[in-house]
Amino acid sequence: MSLPSDKGPSDKGDTAGLSAADYDAFCRFLRERTGLSFTEAKRYFVDRRVSERMAAVGVEHFRQYLNLLRYQASGEELQLLVNRMTVNETYFFREMYQLDCLVNAALDEVVSGREPGSRVRIWSAGCATGEEPYSIAITLLERWSRVDEFEIELYASDIDSHVLERAQEGIYEERSLQAMPRDLVAKYFTRLDDQRWQIMEELRDSIDFSLVNIADPRQMANFRGMDVIFCRNLLIYFDDLGRREAASMFYDALSPCGFICLGHSESMSRMSSLFVPRRFPDAILYQKPQS
C-alpha cells in the first residue's frame, strides 16, 4: 500500500469544504485508527475523498460523518473511506535487490540448523494489489535452491479491502509486468487479452491474503513466528510515534533472528533500536536479535 505524494494539487492548499479544525480532527481520528498520518500538504487529497464519501452516504455535515466513522458498529464506512484514502501503484520485481538478498543469503541463514520439512513463514505487509507477494513466490521457485526442502507459508495483508480482492484475482496489465522477464511472464501467467494477464491458479492459492490494520495491536497479534517480513514504502507515511509502534509490533511478529525488509528510502535505525542492521552483498536488512 502507498499513499499520495506531497506533489500535485495538494501543494496548492485549496480545499473543498473541511475547516482547519475539522481537518485536524479527521487526521487525529484516522491516525488513531489506522496509523496513517496526513500532513497539511495532503489536505486537498483528504478533503476531496472525505467530501466524496459524505455525498455517497448522504451526510451534509462533517461532524455527523465523523461520528458515523467513529461509532458505526460494522466499521463499513471507515473501510470504504480507507479504500479511497490509499493509492496502490506498484509492479512485479520492484526493488529486486531485496529479493536477490532473500534467496542469495537471508533464507539460507533463516533455515540454518532447521530440519527439512520445517516451516518458513514470509509476510508481505501492505501488499497492495499483490505484486510483491507474487514476486516473492516466483523468486523462491526460480532461484532458491532449497525451496523444496521446507514448508513455505506466504502471507500477504493490506488495510484496503478492494486491493486485496484484486490481489486474490491476480489479473494485471502490462505496466505491472514491465520489469519481469518475458519467459517468467509466459511461465506463470495466462494471457487474457491484449492488455491483461492472470497469474496461475496455483500461485494465487499459495498465498494467504488477509485484511490487516498494522496499527491495531489485536490484529497484529495474529501474526507470530514470521521469519521474514516485507514492509516496504509504507511506514514512511506514518508519523514518528506510529513508526515506533509498528516497529514494535513487527518485532513481536518475527521469530528470533528473523528479518524485516524496508523500502530503499526507509531506515529502521531512525524508527527503532530493537533491530540490528545487517549488511548483505545485495541489500541491508534489519534483524531481530536472538535474545
CB atoms within 10 A of CB 290: 7
Nearest partner of 199 among 222, 176, 179, 220, judged by Cα: 176
Name the binding residues for S-adenosyl-L-methionine: 88, 90, 94, 132, 158, 232-233
Find the DSSP H helices in the chain. 20-34, 43-57, 62-71, 76-85, 96-101, 107-110, 131-143, 161-169, 182-188, 201-206, 217-220, 240-253
CA distances from 20 to 37, 47, 86, 227, 285 (A): 16, 11, 22, 44, 40
Q: What is the C-alpha to C-alpha distance for residues 28 and 22, in angstroms, rounded to an integer?
A: 10
CB 22 within 8 A of CB 62: yes
Name the binding residues: 88, 90, 94, 132, 158, 232-233
